[in-house]
Structure 1
Amino acid sequence: MSGKRRAGWLFAPATDPVPRGQAGGAAFLRVLLGLMWLHNVSWKVPPDFGDADGGLYKWTAFAVSHPVFPPYSWVVEKAVLPNIEVFGWGVLIAESALAVLLLTGAWVRVAAALGVGMSLSIGLSVAEAPHEWPWAYWLMIGAHVAILFSSAGRAFAVDALRAGVGSARRLGLLWGVIAVVLGGLGALGSAGDDPLAAKGHYLRAWDLMISVGRYNLAGSLVLVLAGVLLLVAARGGSAVLGRAAAAVAAGAALTLHAQTGFSDPLLGGTATSAAFLLSVALVAAAVASHSNVDHKKKEVSDR
């Protein structure tokens, strides 16, 4: 396969025809990996990204104190740690992109290839650190390789819309309901002494390391608003409302990125909150751009 054909395959929708069970299983693994990355972006905090006692700096430094592959350790010691602020932004952007693309099923093969690289990099840093289990990183690499060569974008995914095999209405309704429910839970949880606290209510599954971020009352209401706009857009096939939902969610995410680590976030969120809002924005934009396709399919079926 030539380089041009490989690039075309990488960016093409991951929607090769397979039995429904295989597509569903691959989609489940994709979402699971997306949740893993979504939870873990929360502690990559600019501008310094931690120090020897905690944060990204501490975990990256294990590559030097507990080396897995000496040449990699040398690069980390000489180039990465002295420039952790730049390196940290790269990690934050890459892991946020992984969370967004895997959760939404957009450009799945690109995300899977990036996930292989990030998993390898993390494993080379911490696989020999105290209390670590090296097989965790082999499994992370293997899971992303499995997604790379699967049809993980065929079910509940933006890739399915790109390939013309999915319903924008169904995807929009699903994500709209998720956003409204989570936003409602955030609003209820933040209705305490300080509903606009900079560290909002934590939406997570106990201590199982599954989280969709923190939201104070303002952040929760923004999430509800984006979800409602997405629901109405999906039900009515409105591209305008879909774009409005995307703008609201993306604007909130960018606000969090501009404030997290620099000032108190007005929406009470973290980088995880921002990544989830970007996921809603990406789905809303996809629904808006494919609403006419669904409408034409319905017209044909009604004839």
Structure 2
Amino acid sequence: MDEPASGWIIGGARILTGLLWLANLHWKVPPAFGEDSGGGLYKYSESVTRNSPLAPFTWVTEELILPNFRFFGWVTLVVELLLAMLLLVGYRTRIVALVGAAWSVPILLSVIYYDRADEWSWSYFMMIGLHLVLFATDAGRHLGIDGVLARNGDAARRSLAIVGSVAIAVGVLGLIVARSVSFAGSEAALLGSDAGFANPDGDIVRRWELKFLFFNPLWALLTILFGALLVIGARSARTVAVALAGATGFGVLAIVVFVTQTFDYLRDDGQVQVISTASNAALWGALALAGVLLARRSSTVAVPASEG
């Protein structure tokens, strides 16, 4: 396989892994994380006390995790948000990949013994293996920030324009799906899939969930605006300040929605589901990080080699 093709595959696998973490943030809902209802993240941790055959893991769960579950929930949310954010843009990828592999182990041990679960246990072994492949291939050097930072300012400006264009495209899609919700506020529409299979009574019995992001028109327009600033700022070293303004906007947006903690997801069937804001915070945080790093790199001017 030639290097350009392999680079696209490796970089694509890293982005796909980032999306995997991002798509599983919405159901980790703070501040209780399911402890008050017996659902969400709590149900998987609690099931370890009944079903896990590994005594040390059971002891850790019973004595450390469950008595301090809300703290554990916040740690889980922040770690997985950072995994999604950093893998999407490919920054410090080798370290992040090792963290992702290690973090996947307790997930495997918690989920495969959950009551009534129909999980395919091999998927979690593959998840661990995928992170190890990202580590071994230094996947951030392919379509990622790690690779761009090792090159010159022109490459950084091109990458900055691409990041801004992706943000604009996501914002436009968000604006399209957000037509059914109010302009601003806690209501949000899904950018992704929530399709399912219905039984003879019309009830959804199994959903095919790809819940990536949630938008109202205001958040979509801000995503388009800040993305446009990244594109404008990528034009030359003199316009870097514009790109930094866009990156700052994404950073503020990420912090605001993360502090908000929850959205009211308005589903197609008219029901409202309370979901975590972390998936949006991860994306906007990734765009902020990429914007800052690429803008700073693009402002550097190559020094011509001296003659003789």
Instruction: Please report the TM-score for the alignment, with normalisation by the length of structure 1.
Output: 0.84
Q: CA deviation at 1:20?
A: 2.5
Higher mean Cα deviation, 233-242 or 200-209? 200-209
Per-residue displacement from partner, 1:127-176 (whole Å, max 9, x unpaired)?
A: 22221221111101000011111131122211012222782122212221
Specify the alignment match of 1:11 in structure 2.
none
The residue number in structure 1 matching 2:51 is 66
Q: Describe how 1:254-265 pairs up with structure 2 within 5 A.
A: 254-261=255-262
Flag the structure with larger Rg: 2
Distance 1:254 1:53 in 2: 28
Report the counterpart of residue 186 of structure 1 in structure 2. Answer: 174
Match of 2:278 among 268, 271, 283: 271
Name the amino acid aligned to 1:120.
Answer: V
The question of whether the paired residues in 2 share the 8 Å contact of 1:30 and 1:147 is answered with yes
How far is 1:24 from its partner? Answer: 2.0
Matching residue of 1:41:
25
Per-residue CA deviations over 1:69-113 (Å, capped at 9, x if unaligned) read 221011111110111111011111110110011000000011101
Shift in CA distance, 21/151, structure 1 to aligned 2, threshold 3 Å: farther
Structure with the bigger percentage of helix: 1
Residues 175, 283 of structure 1: 8 Å contact kept: yes
Runs of 4+ deviating beyond 3 Å: 205-212
Shift of 1:46: 1.3
Contact 1:204–1:210 under 8 Å retained in 2: yes
- Report matched runs for 1:8-19 at 5 Å: 19=3
* Compared CA separation, residues 58 and 248, structure 1 to 2 (3 A): same
1:204 Cα deviation from its structure 2 partner:
0.9
Instruction: Report the TM-score, using the length of structure 2 for normalisation.
Output: 0.83
Cα deviation code 1:47-72 (max 9, x no counterpart): 11112531111122222222142210
1:240 aligned partner: 241
Distance 2:53 2:12 in 1: 31
Q: What one-letter code is carried by the residue in structure 2 that aligns with 1:110?
A: I
Distance in 2 (CA, whole Å) between partners of 1:191 and 1:274 is 21
In percent, how many aligned pairs have the same letter? 31
Per-residue CA distance 1:198-241 (angstroms, 9 max, x = gap): 13121114545434310111111111111011111123342211
Structure 1's unaligned 5+ residue stretches are 1-17
1:181 deviation in Å?
A: 1.4
Q: Give the conservation status (yes or no) of the 8 Å contact 1:128–1:134.
A: no
Q: Matches of residues 141-290 of structure 1 in structure 2 within 5 Å?
A: 141-164=128-151, 167-192=155-180, 194-205=182-193, 207=195, 209-237=209-237, 238-261=239-262, 270-290=277-297
Q: Following TM superposition, by how much is the alpha carbon of 1:192 offset from its aligned partner in structure 2, in angstroms? A: 3.2
Which structure shows the bigger proportion of residues in strand conformation? 2
For 2:187 and 2:149, locate their aligned partners in 1 and report how far apart those are by CA, in whole Å: 37
**How many pairs are equivalent?**
278
Note if contact 1:241-1:288 (Cα within 8 Å) is conserved in structure 2: no
CA distance in 2, matches of 1:164, 1:111: 21
CA distance in 2, matches of 1:215, 1:141: 31
Q: What is the rounded CA distance, in whole Å, between the counterparts of 2:53 and 2:120 in structure 1?
A: 13
Partners of 2:172 and 2:3 in 1: how far apart?
36
1:198 alignment partner AA: S
Instruction: Report the more deviating stretch, 194-203 or 280-289.
Output: 194-203
Separation (CA, whole Å) in 1 of partners of 2:38 and 2:66: 14
In structure 2, runs of 5+ residues without a counterpart are 196-207, 266-274
Q: 1:272 to 1:68 in 2, by over 3 A?
A: farther
SS of aligned partner of 2:234: helix
Change (3 A) 1:47 1:178: same
**Structure 2 match to 1:103:** 88
Indicate if the aligned counterparts of 2:181 and 2:216 stay in contact, CA closer than 8 A: no
* Partner residue, 2:302: 296
- Larger deviation, residues 202-211 vs 141-150: 202-211
**Structure 2: how far apart are the matches of 1:42 and 1:114?**
21
